[in-house]
Amino acid sequence: MSGSTGPATGPVPLPGPTPDAAREPETEPAPGTVPRSSRDPWRFVKPLGHRDFRMLFGAVVLSIFGAGMWAVVMVYTVIGAGGGPVELSAVAAANAVGLLVCAIPGGIAADRVPRRLLLRIVELVNLLAITSVAVAGVFGAVTIPHLAVVAFVMGAGAGFFFPAYSAILPRILPPAQLLAANGLEGAIRPALQQAAGPAAAGVIVAAVLAPAHAAWAVVAAHALAFVLLLFVRPEPPAAAGEQHEAPDGVRGVLHDLREAVGFTVRTPWLLWTLLFATGWVLVFVGPEEVLLPFVTRDRIGEDPRLFGFLLAIYGIGGVLGSIVVSSMKLPRRYLTVMMGVWGVSTLPFAVVGVTRQYWLMALCLFLVGFGFSYGNVIWGTLLQRRVPRHMLGRISSLDFFVSLALMPLSMALAGPLAEVVPIEAIFLAAGVIPLILGALAYVVARMSKDEIDHPLDH
């Protein structure tokens, strides 16, 4: 689950350490003591000790911050160009279409093109796209079609960026630090994209003469991100066992796609987690995105700050969940913990649909956010540890695609369903069904046996 694996037909290859990033030494603790590595609260920042990761992570931070600002700037630029709800919906849809269309090609490219080059190209294209809006704003020439094209380009860029980012991490970091690296990314994403970025953009939009002028702040963020990517050094050469040859041209692309899909189907823990993610998105996202604002308004109050605070609490839960899991070692029963946390953490959402107590609603959303991010960090780490490196980009993009494919359907169904089914029943289903789906996936894929058969060093 990008958001999302029984035993495979044979042992799953584990990516080994890169030449410049040896495994962290493991020492035997003294009798009666707790190993320092299992209780180190600063474990999650250790990846920042690697120069290339610092440059890469800095670029990701700026890019996410820019995306958070753009979400607000785009809305007011559409309004400033004379658009209304229909035009805003069209621009937002263009972004989603770009993301979905390019998710799979982005994964294939991440396994064929040097990841560093791909990240630079995406960031440069993002920079040029946003700059075009800022320049057009200076001359008062921003149009809705222009914004739709830029939104599509930004969505397409995300489809290429994050498979490449996921695939480059195990090439520049030792395996023992991947959990912490994913935790850092999982923590800063909600903090910047859902809170700091939109807040900064709101202040800037209010201070400038025209909304499009605020795009210059987004330009600055992407420009700095691009500069940082220029300082990321080439990846170490692949080891002999990691070399992968595939045909060129269209036949090669189809070969790569078939290989990734075949690996997924033959690997039960991967396949069934993706199926779980699909079901989770279908039953959960619609009520969360579409119905929660109305539940808050009808039961708590019409003040928009009440709903905004709930979203902030949800995001804070995600930040803390990411930090907590990345401050510890990877659980030995990693699949059990991941599926258990994901399944149980949705149960409080059922309470959100029935309570009229604001504090209880906030607490429940905090727990949902905490559990989702906790499991997500483990999941991203498992992809990087258990998927062969030569197809990690493709598998990451399949995860990305599957996690998003049913999101529009879920949101489209939520409103009409609420007209014929009580809200309480919808939220109850959204809270309980993921637990049932998770338990089913865990049993059918024989995840308990799989994690024992494929232990990971911690």
- CATH level 3 topology of 260-458: Growth Hormone; Chain: A; (1.20.1250)
Q: Which residues have CB under 8 Å from 451's CB, separation 6+?
A: 269, 332, 333, 334, 335, 336
Fold category of 42-235 in CATH: Growth Hormone; Chain: A; (1.20.1250)
- Comparing 65-79, 277-291, 304-318, 442-456, the range with the smallest average pLDDT is 304-318
Q: Would you say residue 235 has pLDDT above 90?
A: no
Average pLDDT, the chain: 83
Q: Residue range 225-244: average pLDDT? A: 78
- Token duo for residue 216: 């210059």
Question: What is the structure's pLDDT at 242?
Answer: 52
pTM for the model stands at 0.73
Rounded Cα gap, residues 104 and 158, in angstroms: 11
Over residues 18-51, the pLDDT tens digits come to 333 333 344 444 444 444 445 566 777 889 999 9
For the segment 162-186, what is each residue's pLDDT rounded down to a tens digit? 889 988 998 889 988 888 888 888 8
Could you write out the DSSP letters of every residue in 297-321?
HHHT-S-HHHHHHHHHHHHHHHHHH
State how far the alpha carbon of 125 is from the alpha carbons of 116, 144, 312, 396, in Å: 14, 20, 31, 22
Task: Quote the pLDDT of residue 21.
Answer: 38
Q: In Å, how far are 1, 395, 440 from 401, measured between CA atoms?
A: 10, 10, 22
Name the 3-class secondary structure at 424. helix
Domain positions in the chain are: 42-235, 260-458
- Two tokens, residue 243: 């070399």
Looking at residue 458, its pLDDT comes to 57
Residue with more model confidence, 289 or 56: 56
% pLDDT > 70, the chain: 86
Q: Which two tokens stand for residue 401?
A: 């695609």
pLDDT tens per residue, range 368-423: 999 999 999 999 899 988 988 888 888 888 887 877 778 778 877 888 888 899 99
**105 token code pair:** 């090609």
Distance CA 57, CA 247 (A): 33
Please report which confidence band the pLDDT of residue 304 belongs to, taking 50, 70 and 90 as the band edges.
low
In this predicted model, what pLDDT tens digit does every residue of 204-221 receive, in sequence order? Answer: 888 887 788 889 999 999
Give, in degrees to the nearest 5, the angle at Cα 183 between 182 and 187. Answer: 120
pLDDT score of 336: 96
Give the SS3 label for residue 167.
helix
